[in-house]
Amino acid sequence: MESFYLQGHPSVALHNLLKLLGWCDSGGQAKQLVAEGQVMVDGQIETRKRCKIIAGQIVSYAGQQVKISSSA
């Protein structure tokens, strides 16, 4: 499982996280994946593109998982 560090930020929008992780090529593609229900947050399908992801959550897409942490 990968880790993603918020580095002092309280949260990150789900569609931005997918783009930052390199799981998709563009913000538009990220928004589409979320809207289609292809992304899970803490084991539940999440369809809100701008859902705020915070430390302690786990995001999954296409067999990949990332755990969100506040800092390294």
Residue 43: CATH number of its domain: 3.10.290.10
Spatial separation of the C-alpha atoms in residues 16 and 28, rounded to whole Å: 10
Q: Phi/psi of residue 32, each to 5°?
A: -65, -45
Q: Total domain count for the chain?
A: 1
Q: What is the pTM of this model?
A: 0.92
Give me the domain span that covers residue 43.
Answer: 2-69
Q: Where are the beta strands (DSSP E) in 1-72?
A: 2-5, 12-13, 39-41, 44-45, 52-53, 58-61, 64-69
Structure confidence by residue, pLDDT tens digits, 12-53: 999 999 999 999 999 999 999 999 999 999 999 999 989 999
